[in-house]
Amino acid sequence: MGKKISAKTPIGMMGSPYFNNESGWNDKVYLQEIGKGIKNMREDRNISQAELARITGMKVPNISVIECGKSNPQLLTILRLVGAMRGNLIDIFPIPDDLSFILSTPKVYKPRKHFSKKK
């Protein structure tokens, strides 16, 4: 089963400016927890980011930003990563007691800006 985390239990962000509700959950914290789950799964299997990138056809920096919680990866990207590690999705997604946190807390996560080179 997934990591069952009480919505009343802060998950490591108590002193952070991103901690903005009683439960400790917000969009940014949730993405960070998913990233930690992916990183833990990778490390438990002794797979480097470079090897995971090779297997999935992704680039190492993209895997790094996902693991650091600085990206909001598409579901298919998560499936690719977990599938490459022969893992289970339930093992990387934290499951708060109350999912309504996503509706009741202000958005904190800000997408990274992607700059393309001008030709």
Rounded Cα distance between 118 and 41, Å, is: 38
40-86 tens-digit pLDDT: 999 999 999 999 999 999 999 999 999 999 999 999 999 999 999 99
Q: Which pLDDT tens digit goes with each residue over 88-111? A: 999 998 887 777 777 776 777 777
The reply to whether 7 falls in a domain is no
Residue type, 2: G
- 90 occurs within a structural domain: yes
What gap in Å lies between CA 105 and CA 26, rounded to an integer?
6
Longest pairwise C-alpha distance within the chain: 51
Q: What is the CATH number of the domain that holds 58?
A: 1.10.260.40
Q: In terms of Cα–Cα distance, which of 52, 107, 46, 102 is closest to 77?
A: 52
- Residue type present at position 51: E
Residue 80 lies in a domain: yes
